[in-house]
């Protein structure tokens, strides 16, 4: 709407009223927010001009690996390439990588890493794999806790990617996926009789049929950490029960069979036998750890042990039920396969993909 200022000026000259009416008032009130917006915009431009530019990413390529990093992380990139090449050779007998490229992003800032690990916000993870995209992202060593196992993280995420390529994720339980990643990457700091004993005494052992969900939707950091400890312990127990040859036969049978069926056809045991062996091992290590620490004779520990014995008796027969539920729960959980360009151009690509940390 246009305001005739000359007419208003004339009115002021003849009758003494200000040359201002409701139309001018509306124009002024609309102008103020626009002016404030322009001021804020100018200030933001000035602040942005004062900020140092983001460093350009550099790239290191050898074999199937391509590593993106900022210039200050060049030594880390060279070390990363060496670690990955050695791990690839070590794992090739059981988990061949194929010819498809593997892209590795070394995040130099937390914001940079968070764009890859959006589903793990608040869980303090150091690496994440997007197997369908052939992508691994890790925090630079300077962002990690002192003494952090950078090499172990790279190997861990590589195992996730190799399992996806060699076995697929349709029938691979998530606890076994994570357990294998820790077992093969030598991350033994997740293991230990005392840690399992503490979880047991504090009633934090996660039931078998709930363990996978503890990785996808943990109730907090403690349960998330407990799930990793338990997954490694169960994977080591599976290897002890089956032996090297049968262990890997079971793993590769997961391309076509559920875990329960693969145990029977390739391992010669059923899910109930495996779980009972795991429970016996858990019991043994808990007693040893509690006795060694002097905590076995505390009233709370004794009551919990008695409660555990009762629970074990009542839970007889549940393992067969879980084995049947495996078949009903099967869904196509394979992440879609992305090209590297799609990963770079689509900032929300990870929301369509299943992540492993």
Kindly report, residue by residue over 83-142, the tens digit of the pLDDT.
999 999 999 999 999 999 999 999 999 999 999 987 776 677 899 999 999 999 999 999
Residues 216 and 242 in one domain: yes
Residues 263 and 241 in one domain: yes
- The SS3 of residue 355 is coil
**Final residue of a structural domain among 32, 50, 68:** 50
pLDDT of 318 strictly over 70:
no
Please report the beta strands in the chain, taking only residues with DSSP state E, as ranges in sequence order: 58-62, 65-69, 102-107, 127-130, 135-139
The encoded tokens of residue 138 equal 């890790």
Which residue, among 187, 203, 198, 111, has the nearest Cα to 153 in the 3D structure? Answer: 187
Question: How far apart are the C-alpha atoms of 350 and 357, rounded to whole Å?
Answer: 13
Residues 177 and 278 in one domain: yes
Residues 103 and 219 in one domain: no
Domain count, the chain: 3
Name the β-bridge partners of 138: 106, 127
Write down the residue that tokens 């993870």 correspond to: 125
Residues 281 and 213 in one domain: yes
Residue numbers of the domain that contains 307? 170-332
Residues 205 and 301 in one domain: yes
Residues 94 and 174 in one domain: no
Strand order in the sheet with 127-130: 58-62, 65-69, 102-107, 135-139, 127-130
- How does pLDDT run across 137-181, given as a tens digit for each residue? 999 999 988 878 899 999 999 999 999 999 999 999 999 999 999
Residues 154 and 175 in one domain: no
Residues 45 and 192 in one domain: no
With beta carbons less than 8 A apart as the criterion, state whether 83 and 119 touch.
Answer: no
Mode of pairing for the β-strands spanning 65-69 and 58-62: antiparallel
Q: What is the pLDDT of residue 309?
A: 55
- How does pLDDT run across 41-83, given as a tens digit for each residue? 555 545 444 444 456 889 999 999 999 999 999 999 999 999 9
Question: How far apart are the C-alpha atoms of 82 and 151, rounded to whole Å?
Answer: 10
Residues 103 and 61 in one domain: yes
Residues 323 and 189 in one domain: yes
Residues 70 and 24 in one domain: no
- How does pLDDT run across 228-272, given as a tens digit for each residue? 999 999 999 999 999 999 999 999 999 999 999 999 999 999 999
Specify the CATH number for the domain of residue 99: 3.40.30.160
């Amino acid at each position: 709407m246009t305001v005739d200022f000359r007419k208003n000026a004339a009115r002021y000259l003849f009758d003494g009223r200000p040359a201002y009416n409701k139309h001018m008032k509306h124009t002024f009130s609309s102008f103020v927010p626009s002016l404030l917006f322009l001021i804020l915009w100018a200030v933001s431009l000035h602040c942005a001009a004062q900020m140092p530019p983001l460093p350009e990413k550099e790239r290191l390529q050898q074999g199937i690996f391509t590593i993106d990093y900022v210039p200050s992380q060049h030594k880390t990139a060279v070390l990363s390439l060496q670690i990955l090449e050695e791990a690839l050779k070590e794992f090739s007998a059981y988990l061949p990588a194929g010819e498809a490229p593997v892209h590795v992003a070394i995040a130099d800032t937390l914001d940079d890493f968070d764009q890859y690990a959006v589903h793990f916000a608040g869980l303090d993870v150091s690496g994440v794999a997007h197997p369908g995209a052939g992508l691994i992202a890790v925090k630079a060593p300077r962002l990690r806790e002192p003494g952090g196992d950078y090499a172990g993280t790279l190997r861990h995420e590589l195992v996730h990617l190799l399992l996806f390529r060699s076995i697929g994720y349709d029938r691979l339980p998530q606890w076994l996926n994570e357990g294998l990643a820790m077992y093969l990457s030598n991350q033994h700091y997740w293991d230990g009789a005392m840690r399992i004993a503490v979880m047991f005494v504090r009633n934090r052992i996660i039931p078998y049929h709930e363990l996978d969900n503890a990785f996808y939707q943990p109730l907090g950091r403690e349960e998330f950490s407990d799930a990793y400890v338990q997954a490694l312990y169960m994977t080591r127990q599976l290897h002890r029960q089956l032996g090297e040859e049968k262990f890997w036969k079971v793993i590769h049978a997961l391309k076509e069979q559920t875990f329960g069926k693969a145990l029977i056809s390739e391992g010669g045991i059923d899910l109930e036998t495996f779980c009972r062996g795991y429970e016996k091992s858990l019991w043994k290590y808990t007693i040893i750890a509690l006795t060694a620490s002097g905590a076995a004779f505390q009233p709370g520990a004794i009551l919990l042990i008695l409660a555990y014995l009762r629970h074990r008796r009542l839970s007889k027969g549940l393992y067969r039920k879980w084995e049947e539920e495996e078949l009903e729960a099967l869904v196509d959980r394979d992440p879609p396969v992305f090209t590297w360009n799609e990963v770079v151009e689509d900032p929300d690509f990870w929301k369509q993909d299943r992540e492993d940390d």
